[in-house]
Amino acid sequence: MTIDPLFLAVAALAMFLAGLSKSGLAPSIAAAAVPLLTFVMPARDAAGMMLPVLLVMDAVALISLRREVHWPNLRIMLPGAIIGIGIGWLTSSMVSDAAVALAIGVISLIFVLDAWLPLRQKLQTGVSRPAGLFWGTLAGITSFISHTGGPPFQIYVVPQRLSPALFAGTAAWFFAIVNAVKLIPYYFLGQLSLDNLELSAMMLPMAFIGIFVGLKLVRIVPAEFFYRLTYILIFLLALKLIYDGGRATFGI
């Protein structure tokens, strides 16, 4: 397998950012990984390559957070997430690569707007079955497309004001289960090809380097600085994906 140097650099950066997010320094920066990868590979392959790496990092997170979990939220949100994954699977054959890139751009833009605008304050719900099912379904769909299930999860759970450890543990359990379920449709859709798995294994060390660097930086660098850079990066990536995906999809 011949690897282009530009691809190698972009993929390494994406995996590093994914690892950095797991250190607690800037959790939202993981949302930049798949949009970044779409500049050097098809969107579906980018998501497929990321999944094994995410599963390994999920396992690491669960080792330390396995006892910190808010079960009422999981019991409400996980059925919705599975429904969302199913919707993503059923509609995948009807959607072009350009449309997937456009969808990733829109999801990424919504993610940034959710961070910049006080949407969560207006969406205070507490533990609610209808709301949890809705946001869980949306998290399943967006996670299936581009591993960006974080914003819907946060919109529903953050207003509940769980303790930091309980929030982190609930998120770790939720996305570990969601990512494990995604193995089934990804396999049948060919997103877990041998080439993608080889790339995942090759890039995995960069994710662990990201975790290590993040654990060091979290003690000396203000997290707010990284959050600002993260949102600006994702915003620019989102605009580029929307522009390119919109042109290819609608012939603009």
Amino acid at 101: A
Q: pLDDT 10s per residue in the chain (252 long)?
A: 556 788 888 888 888 888 877 766 666 677 778 778 888 888 788 888 889 988 988 888 788 777 888 899 999 999 999 999 999 999 887 877 778 778 878 877 887 887 777 655 555 556 778 889 998 998 898 889 878 787 788 778 877 777 777 887 888 899 899 999 999 999 999 888 888 888 889 888 998 888 788 777 766 766 677 667 767 877 887 888 788 778 877 865
Amino acid at 7: F
Token readout for 124 is 């205070």
**Angle at CA 41, nearest 5°, toward 142 and 230?**
55
CA distance 178 to 243: 30
